[in-house]
Structure 1
Amino acid sequence: MATDPRGLRGDAPLLDAWLRFQESPPTPFTIPGHKQRHDLVGDVVAGDVPLYAGLDTMKLSAGVLAEAESRAARLWGADLCRFSTGGATQANQAVALAVAGDGDRVVVSRTLHRSLLLGLVLAGLTPVWVRPEVDRATGLPLGVAPDTVRRALAENPDVRAVFVGDPSYVGTVGDVGGLADAAHEHDVPLVVDAAWAAHFGFHPDLPRHPLQLGADVVVTSAHKSLPAWSQAALVLARTGRVDAARLDAGVEATATTSPAGAILASTDAARALLERDGRDLLGDAIAAVRAARDRLARVDGLVVLDGPGVDPLKLTLVLSATGADGNAVERDLLAAGLPVESADRDVIVGVVSLADTAATLDALAAALATSVERHRGASRPVVGPAAYRVDPVTAVPPREAFFAASESVPIASAVGRTSAELVAPYPPGIPVLAPGETITTDTVAALEQARSAGVRIAYAADPELATLRVTNP
């Protein structure tokens, strides 16, 4: 269904301010330096309106950001909402600063994004790691079991918070309600990185969102399943177990002092659209994914992630039994103008948002089916992503290792040493190795397997993995 974005302006104060700026552009003597001229570097700066002296006065006298955040809080049933122009990365790090203090310990799911692990470094927190259950048939992660968190809390009664990521990058959905119960039994907050789930709770065929299930803090991206600018995200919190002032301070400490107004306005507009038309738009997208899944399930050997424990808006395929190499399939998709979020030898992930239609999903499903048949080969054993197969061994707190004197050593010589760096295949950016962890033969094998499967090792001092950075003895 088509919508008129100007029809949202009455319920989206930041969008209204952005439109008013375009309708009556000033002659600014403020930043940004392009001064709204497009003849200098081109339309690449089109739409770039600052928050300060743009959407609002330099003194923020109109209060449009506060009003927009208040409306988002009401929609999600939160006590507090803050917008992030630094994506879920900034939001995760702000929350890490807010919920505990330097030297404190927190339970952390190993499925979490690198941004949260670097948040541990910034806040001086020490992780008590918990791992998700893994589906044997696909090698992909399920949720962290509530009893796993209960055991971690019972064995570590000084823990200050529980951090999990749900849904997973591949779209599997865990028992967030059970995790909230487990955390609250020990009177600590549950923080959920739900970056991929801004749409949850807004259609009857979707899982409820984490706040509805008892979570205390939720981080979610407005630019993944909603139609906001890149870097748009939200922090949503209930403040019974979280200090609102400290969360505000964490957001301000990690935020730019020159926030991009277009990102903020698009977050506000996406929220208003979700509130007004979300059910209909999501219903159309869910039906389109359903049709694509059904079509792809008829491809011999192709495993299509599906069922009640999977986000209805995610398209995740496991190719192992087809023998096709996902990297070759990805090249076909790129040639057809159909890029996907992630592709390695065994797994392809397509992100679907409420902007998608039956036509876009039909084109993707057809291209996938054709390409898998083109590259079909001998069936391979299922090998899941590297991050879910390694048991982390913490030697020292992440912050200590991150700032320690370090050296680069050949990867074979790094076994037994303490990592000074975070190493994460990307996407999805889930670390195989974190600062402060002992490097094991399993770690090295998992990293080498990821690289051989065609995954980019994006976050490493040496992306070729010939060397690793380790702390000095």
Structure 2
Amino acid sequence: MTSTNDPLGLAPDAPLFAAWLSTAAELAAGRSQFFSIPGHKQRTQLTGPIVQGDLPLYAGLDSPQLSGGMLADAQDRAAALWGVDWCRFSVGGSTHANQAVALALGAPGDTVIVSRTLHRSMLTGLILAGLQPIWVYPELDDHHGLPLGVAPEKVAKALDEHPEAKAVLVGDPSYIGTTGDLAGLAAAAHSRNVPLIVDGAWAAHFGFHPAYPQHALALGADALVISAHKTLPAMGQAALLLALTTEGRLNSSRLERGFEAGHTTSPSGAVLASIDAARALLAKHGERLLGDLLDLRTRAVEKLARVAGLEMLTGEHVDPAKLVIRLPGTGALGGKVDQRLRSEGFLLEMADRDTLVPMLTLADDQAGVDALVEAVAKAVEAERGPARPVSTAPSWRTVPVTALAPREAFFAPHETVPARQAVGRISAELIAPYPPGVPVLAPGEVITEEIVTGLRRIRADGGRIAYAEDPTLATFQVVRS
């Protein structure tokens, strides 16, 4: 029997979600009182309704000893759904999961082959683990200037040149939904007996409908990081780390220790239960819902294509659910279009000078998407100008000059210098436009005039410069000479 709290009847196949429903019902009926954390105790008289639903895992959904076994059961079900033998739920997002797997790969000083368009969380994972990246670069789409996948031949060449490498790490799909040849990458890695690790944060929905790509694990990856809160209806910070350890390329004990090293000892039961519910939703209704989402996106693309100069990213190697809107042909600036949309109540996932990304997910409906499309068309027309050439953003084109290992630079004495004096110095900080959170500058890399100019152009176009000590870019943190 379904209820308004479980409209699709997921609880019988979702032990953590069922425990959350039961515990919430007990509290609502006055049959339970919390004398454990969180400190709000589900009472709203102090900070209001924001605390409602925030139930703990320990001494909440389960006992402090986890004697009910709901978490282990839920993780086992997820492992079975994705076809692996090891799975952990994270309440720290893909950031925590990426850092956890980095800690499991080798020892400080070991090298790994890494796609340069990695998310900053994987780079910080390399710093924590003391791993030395050997960069490989994705192909670029000539028409849009956007990244495609990393060619398997590039990875094979890097492994030949660095036979000591412990792993290959890539992000796939990219932030803007482009996909690469993961089967080819897995073959290249496995021929050298090293694991392929995939940050698939944006691909939690892959593999559950024939029109979508297979998920990375089905294509040969040894570990996959996914964000359940990005493309599935899970709570913020919900992520999974899934791995195949039976092949011997990854060690389950190291994975466990790496995961626990950065995981909170007070995980949110509500976030964990939402992962469980999202997994059950995929298993029970995924194909139908993903088909509906495909229809929504197809209709949106057809309507937006009627706007002169507007282009959408499409093709065989693009996530069929991702709506990526390209503006150069309209002359409109993404930041200005975004401001108009926000004033109308439409909040987009991403807007930079040339690109808009309104996220479409399983939670969207036809009326909402139609309203979005109409608003985008009006905003673009209002900001229309002369068409401009396509340019490639620094996040996708930067080829760094590495002077120090990331960990060495991170811990080195540093100083603050004006931007004009920073050129030619070694960066002590990580700087990335956000979104997408792909580093343009990492600790240990030489600051160049091109990098400074590119970052300043992004800021001038309304982008946010993230993680920099000085987001105005008047000064930079550099390794002390």
Q: Which range, TM-score by smaller chain? A: over 0.9
Asked whether the equivalents of residues 90 and 238 of structure 2 are also in contact (C-alpha less than 8 Å), the reply is: yes
Partner of 1:8: 10
User: Helix, strand or coil for the counterpart of 2:104?
Assistant: helix
Partner of 1:468: 476
Aligned counterpart for 1:22 among listed residues 3, 21, 24: 24
The reply to whether residue 165 of structure 1 matches residue 167 of structure 2 is: no
Aligned counterpart for 1:82 among listed residues 79, 83, 88: 88
Asked whether the equivalents of residues 387 and 446 of structure 1 are also in contact (C-alpha less than 8 Å), the reply is: no
The reply to whether residue 257 of structure 1 matches residue 259 of structure 2 is: no
Partner of 2:445: 437
User: Helix, strand or coil for the counterpart of 1:24?
Assistant: helix
Shift of 1:338: 1.2
Aligned counterpart for 1:385 among listed residues 389, 393, 409: 393
How well do the aligned residues superpose, as a CA RMSD in angstroms?
Answer: 1.2
Aligned counterpart for 1:420 among listed residues 422, 428, 431: 428
Partner of 1:266: 274
Partner of 1:329: 337
Q: CA-to-partner distance for each residue in 1:386-422, whole Å, 9 max, x for gaps?
A: 1112111111111110011000111121111111000
User: Helix, strand or coil for the counterpart of 2:9?
Assistant: helix
User: Which runs of 5 or more residues in structure 1 are unaligned?
Assistant: none
Shift of 1:453: 2.3
Aligned counterpart for 2:410 among listed residues 384, 402, 412: 402
Partner of 1:111: 117
Partner of 2:150: 144
Partner of 2:241: 235
User: Helix, strand or coil for the counterpart of 1:315?
Assistant: coil
Shift of 1:445: 2.2
Partner of 2:58: 52
Shift of 1:372: 1.1
Partner of 1:287: 295
TM-score by length of 1: 0.98
Asked whether the equivalents of residues 144 and 390 of structure 2 are also in contact (C-alpha less than 8 Å), the reply is: yes
Shift of 1:3: 9.7
Once the two structures are overlaid, the 10-residue window that deviates more, 336-345 or 399-408, is 336-345
Once the two structures are overlaid, the 10-residue window that deviates more, 43-52 or 29-38, is 29-38
- After TM superposition, which residue ranges in structure 1, 4 or more long, deviate above 6 angstroms? none
Asked whether the equivalents of residues 389 and 446 of structure 1 are also in contact (C-alpha less than 8 Å), the reply is: no
In structure 1, distance between residues paired with 2:193 and 2:464: 40
Q: CA-to-partner distance for each residue in 1:138-164, whole Å, 9 max, x for gaps?
A: 111111111111111111111100110
User: Helix, strand or coil for the counterpart of 1:74?
Assistant: helix
In 2 relative to 1, CA 254–242 (structure 1 residues): closer, same or farther, beyond 3 Å? Answer: same
Number of residues of Structure 1 aligned to a counterpart in Structure 2: 472
TM-score by length of 2: 0.96
Counterpart AA for 1:55: L
Partner of 1:201: 207
Shift of 1:30: 1.3
User: Helix, strand or coil for the counterpart of 2:218?
Assistant: helix
In 2 relative to 1, CA 274–114 (structure 1 residues): closer, same or farther, beyond 3 Å? Answer: same
Shift of 1:182: 1.0
Shift of 1:441: 2.0
Partner of 1:317: 325
Asked whether the equivalents of residues 167 and 196 of structure 1 are also in contact (C-alpha less than 8 Å), the reply is: yes
Shift of 1:267: 0.3
Counterpart AA for 2:144: T
In structure 2, distance between residues paired with 1:164 and 1:8: 33
Shift of 1:73: 0.3
In structure 1, distance between residues paired with 2:413 and 2:155: 34
Partner of 2:46: 40
User: Helix, strand or coil for the counterpart of 2:242?
Assistant: strand
Aligned counterpart for 2:107 among listed residues 90, 101, 105: 101
Shift of 1:449: 2.2
Shift of 1:302: 1.1
In structure 1, distance between residues paired with 2:319 and 2:12: 32
Shift of 1:289: 0.2
Shift of 1:326: 1.1
Identity among equivalent positions (%) equals 58
Counterpart AA for 1:371: A
In structure 1, distance between residues paired with 2:47 and 2:405: 46
Asked whether the equivalents of residues 20 and 273 of structure 2 are also in contact (C-alpha less than 8 Å), the reply is: yes
Asked whether the equivalents of residues 108 and 130 of structure 1 are also in contact (C-alpha less than 8 Å), the reply is: yes
Shift of 1:77: 0.5
